[in-house]
Structure 1
Amino acid sequence: MNKKRISFCACNAGFEYVKERIDKEFPEHETTVNKCIGACDKCSWDFIARVDGELIVSESKESLYENIKLILKK
């Protein structure tokens, strides 16, 4: 399995929920919270994270979690 790095923006709503679930269910992957992940145009409107540098954008915190989970299970 390839260890993935998941980065969350500290200003993005709902990141705590997603990070907590990822940390609990996928502890082998690294999660970080940054001041900014370079997607400010999306951060105010959507739920976002980066997985190994790739921006993941979702309409809800639950769908963000599900989208990240799909990537981690590959």
Structure 2
Amino acid sequence: MSISIADDQDKIAVFKGFSSSLMQSTAFDPDVPVLPDEATTISIDRIGSPYNPESPRYIQQGISWEAMEALLLEVGI
């Protein structure tokens, strides 16, 4: 997912409930949030696994937070 925090942007990978910044360092402690409360979601991409950074398999690209939230509610998450 692409996010904005104040004037900075970041990309975050989320997999099975764990998240990691792809552009900044991520705390080793999984209890330290990667996504701060003041972050704004720019877009979300759904990628199939196994993940290959050389050739990602996109399921959907450029999803809004509202559309992703509806999808998560639809599947009971």
TM-score (norm 1): 0.28
Tell which structure's C-alpha radius of gyration is larger.
2
* Greater share of residues in strand: 2
Using CA pairs under 8 Å that are at least 6 residues apart, name the structure with larger relative contact order, 1 or 2. Answer: 1
